[in-house]
Amino acid sequence: MAKKAPKAQSRGKRYTNAEKAEILTFVDKHNAEKGRGGAAAASRQFKVSQLTIGNWLKEAGSPSPRRKAKSGDITKTLKRLGEIHKKMAKVEEELSTLRKEYAVLKSQL
């Protein structure tokens, strides 16, 4: 009797940089308005685990809302964050395209 091959484990949903930027912007805006709870609110609204959102925040270098120093106009900062995320997503897409082209050319050698 032949054994069945084990099922390949799913690696979960992959989020685009644009989706991540939208969620992180929501978290920052919520935290700016209410002081905390942005990750929990984003988790409920976007159906993403709080752990995942927390990891994205760490990767982005975003400080914890508890340690955040009160600053002036948060709107400018949020707008700039959104601009940077969009630019990063565009550059990463371009890099992905270049890597694919590089791999094709390299395989022709």
Residue-wise pLDDT for 65-98, tens only, equals 555 555 567 888 888 899 999 999 999 999 999 9
Please say whether the dihedral angle defined by the alpha carbons of residues 80, 86, 90 and 95, taken in this order, is positive or negative: positive
Which region, left, alpha or beta, applies to residue 12 given φ > 0 means left and ψ of -120 to 50 means alpha? left
What would the pLDDT profile of 38-58 be if each residue is shown by its tens digit? 999 999 999 999 999 989 988
pTM greater than 0.85 (yes/no): no
State the pLDDT at residue 95. 95
State the pLDDT at residue 51. 92
Range of the domain at 89: 17-107
- Count up the domains in the chain and report the number: 1
State the pLDDT at residue 8. 63
Q: Cα torsion for 75, 78, 80, 83, to the nearest 10°?
A: -130
Asked, for residue 12, whether it belongs to a domain, the answer is no
Asked, for residue 39, whether it belongs to a domain, the answer is yes
